[in-house]
Amino acid sequence: MPDTAPLIARFDLPDAAATQALGAALAPRLKTGDVVALLGDLGAGKTELARGLIRALFGGNTEVPSPTFTLVQTYEDGAVPLSLWHFDLYRLEDPEEAFELGIEDAFADAVSLIEWPERLGPYLPARRLEIALSHVAEGRRATLSGGSDWPERLKGLSL
């Protein structure tokens, strides 16, 4: 995936709680049709960030398992004005397989959080927020980038 989207922000995340806090800070800025691509090696914190975001939207007691084996988890609540689909595409062997998961519906009707988005190849929407998580000596670093209206929507984002 070429890194062509403008850098929006960078956060140092010393622990899992800080990673979840970043997800929680992003949650109120999301809207239906958003695609959030979570990039990083195994154990980089992609699911932790998703967990914080999902719990901020759907309640702190919401169970948020990693979708590694199910490939997708969906979240809906009548009290929340949007639905969210959390994809883990690590086990995808061909980008076409994502259509069997209903990814087109998610792109149109929900917020899509996608772990291992590079597995989508040419089907990954260009209008997306990318969050690259990496290991650093002090924990993790999150680098947010995105075009379109993302820089304006994330202005002032802090933990």
Distance CA 7, CA 79 (A): 33
Question: Is 101 inside a domain boundary?
Answer: yes
The H helix count followed by the E strand count for the chain is: 4, 7
- CATH code for the domain of 143: 3.40.50.300
Q: What is the pLDDT of residues 99-135, one digit of tens each?
A: 998 899 999 999 999 999 999 999 999 999 999 999 9
Q: What is the pLDDT of residues 141-152, one digit of tens each?
A: 999 999 889 999
**Which residue type, as a one-letter code, is found at position 4?**
T
Domain enclosing residue 55, as ranges: 18-147
Q: What is the pTM of this model?
A: 0.92
Count how many domains the chain has: 1
Cα-flanking dihedrals φ and ψ of residue 151, to 5°?
-55, -40
Question: Is 37 inside a domain boundary?
Answer: yes
Distance CA 90, CA 106 (A): 18
Give the pLDDT band (50/70/90) at residue 63.
Answer: confident
Rg of the chain taking only CA atoms, in angstroms: 14
What's the length of the chain?
A: 159
Of the candidates 33, 31, 25, the residue with the CA atom closest to the CA atom of residue 8: 25
Cα-flanking dihedrals φ and ψ of residue 117, to 5°?
-65, -25
